[in-house]
A and B are shown apart, each in its own frame.
Chain A
Amino acid sequence: MRSFLGTSVAKKIVMALAGLFLIIFLLVHLTINLFLLSDDPNPFNNAANFMAANPIIKAFELVLFAGFLIHITWGVILQIQNWLARPKKYIKHHSSQTSFFSKYMIYLGVIIFIFLIIHFVNFYFVKLGWVEGDPENFYDMAHKLFKIPVYSIIYLICFLFLAFHLHHAFQSAFQTIGLNHPKYTPTIKLIGTLYSIIVPLGFAIIPVIIYFFK
């Protein structure tokens, strides 16, 4: 196992698998969040409480943490190796044709990471009882938070950067695990582009609708 995780390619593959897992998780999370748009707090709170109570979901939560941890840790380690691989930089800036967002993945990741921290302070820490709030009524809490303009703006910006991250990440993960095929890769790229637009947009419309219409 140690030798498996030893090389850069192994780390990258594990990281890609963790990333794909996070991509699936985002879909589930978005589905639950959309209940926030209902005037009735119950569907959302029930979903949130179900998540908090169900032991299978509890176990899943650990896997989710591991997913983030692995993705972030390996991401940072690989990035540092990459920076060290070119100790002396070129003076004339790179002008090769490349996948644009791929050059900024680590910075986009750091922004997502900052968002995750805010997110944890808001919700998860309430659940654990570390921060004040009503763990039975996240619906109310989310609605209150989204009524604060600064909060909603930060939220929107973070999802914009998540969209950028995902735009490169989705197809990149397939390439990393070795799935590249002249026939299917264009479709994977298309799905990736759609995913990276639709999912972050889905998250982003929630605070906008709540702020203006609820």
Chain B
Amino acid sequence: MKITLKIWRQKTSQDKGKFVTYKLDDVSKEMTFLEMLDYLNEKIIMEGEIPIAFDSDCREGICGSCGLYINGRPNGPQKGVTTCQLSMSAFKDGDKITVEPWRSKAFPVLKDLIIDRNAFDELIQSGGYISVNTGAAPEANSIPIKKENSEIAFDAGVCIGCGSCVAACKNASAMLFISAKVSQYAVLPQGQVEAKERVQAMIKKMDELGFGNCTNTGACEAECPKEISLTNIARLNREFLAAKIS
């Protein structure tokens, strides 16, 4: 399969950057998207040029480090996948593929397709945790939890912090991300201690870091590789209201 790639190249965070076009003649449908980029990089290295920098670690949809904006969508045309899980079978012979880094004020580009994701770490530090005493792990069945709550918490807890929501959102908002963190704790007894501070601190931090806010457009939910639902954002809003009123 022949494809044409238009890829963002940027030497440093200060560099202006530009798109560079590459052609590949012999891409197999069995390759993943990142394998295709590896293959392209081998060719670039053979030609004595500097390979394209992009992030990846687990390559199985767990670590959340690999996200790329492919043909106008985070993680490309397949639904519910990270970029590393994206298969070249989603493309056809002769396709033109545009690859861009996440674009957001809070995620500055470091090099080529690699962005600085520290903003998400700062969000977690602002409230995405629970305080527990050190010592032996408590007996798992000592705190019974309703099945529906454990399901809500789990569905929110599968967030891998990849930033696809921010990348997809027309406002570069991190609302889906923080709503997943807030929801995951809001429905569990372990999360109650810091509940009020958590929701307020995370929203405040999100504003400070330069993320946009939510206009309920739904692009985040449509593009989230873990298919995290907008209902979490409503829960975040609810938690926020409750924290303010009570």
Q: Chain A: residues with CB nearer than 8 A to chain B?
A: 4, 6-13, 78, 81-82, 84-99, 102-103, 105, 168, 171-172, 175-182
Would you list 7 pairs from A and B whose C-beta atoms are within 8 A, ordered by A residue? Answer: A8-B207, A8-B213, A9-B240, A82-B170, A85-B212, A168-B216, A180-B230
Q: Complex: how many Å from CA A158 to CA B216?
A: 23
Which among A78, A90, A93, A103 has the greatest number of chain B C-beta atoms within 10 A? A90
Tell me if B219 counts as interface (CB < 8 A to partner A). yes
Q: Complex: how many Å from CA A84 to CA B230?
A: 23
The residue of chain B having its C-beta at the shortest distance from the C-beta of A85 within the complex is: B212
Q: Complex: how many Å from CA A105 to CA B213?
A: 14
Q: Complex: how many Å from CA A97 to CA B236?
A: 23
A12 in contact with B219 (CB, 8 Å): no
Count: A-B pairs, CB below 8 Å: 141
| Apart from A172-B216, A177-B237: 13 A-B pairs, beta carbons within 8 A | A9-B237, A82-B212, A85-B171, A85-B210, A85-B211, A85-B212, A92-B69, A92-B98, A102-B217, A102-B218, A175-B237, A176-B237, A182-B231
In this complex, the interface size class of chain B, counting residues with CB under 8 Å from chain A, is: 35 or more
Tell me if B235 counts as interface (CB < 8 A to partner A). yes
A175 in contact with B216 (CB, 8 Å): yes
Residue from A13, A81, A168 in contact with B241 in the complex, judged by beta carbons closer than 8 Å: A13
- Given that A96-B222, A102-B216 are known contacts, is A175 also in contact with B69, CB under 8 Å in the complex? no
The 3 closest A-B pairs by CB, nearest first: A178-B238, A180-B234, A85-B212
Q: Complex: how many Å from CA A11 to CA B244?
A: 13
- Given that A84-B210, A86-B172, A102-B215 are known contacts, is A96 also in contact with B73, CB under 8 Å in the complex? yes
Which among A13, A78, A86 has the greatest number of chain B C-beta atoms within 10 A? A86
B171 in contact with A86 (CB, 8 Å): yes
A179 in contact with B203 (CB, 8 Å): no
CB distance from B80 to the nearest CB of A (A): 13
CB distance from A140 to the nearest CB of B (A): 42
The residue of chain A having its C-beta at the shortest distance from the C-beta of B178 within the complex is: A9
Q: Complex: how many Å from CA A30 to CA B214?
A: 31
1/0 per residue B131-171: CB within 8 Å of A?
A: 00000000000000000000000000000000000001011
- Given that A87-B105, A91-B98, A98-B222 are known contacts, is A172 also in contact with B215, CB under 8 Å in the complex? yes
Of residues 29 through 62 on chain B, the ones whose CB sits less than 8 Å from some CB of chain A are: none
Tell me if B223 counts as interface (CB < 8 A to partner A). yes
Which among B74, B210, B237 has the greatest number of chain A C-beta atoms within 10 A? B237
Residues of B within 8 A of A81 (CB): 171, 207, 212-213
CB distance from B60 to the nearest CB of A (A): 24
B168 in contact with A85 (CB, 8 Å): no
Tell me if B129 counts as interface (CB < 8 A to partner A). no
CB distance from B211 to the nearest CB of A (A): 6
Residues of A within 8 A of B231 (CB): 180-182
B100 in contact with A178 (CB, 8 Å): no
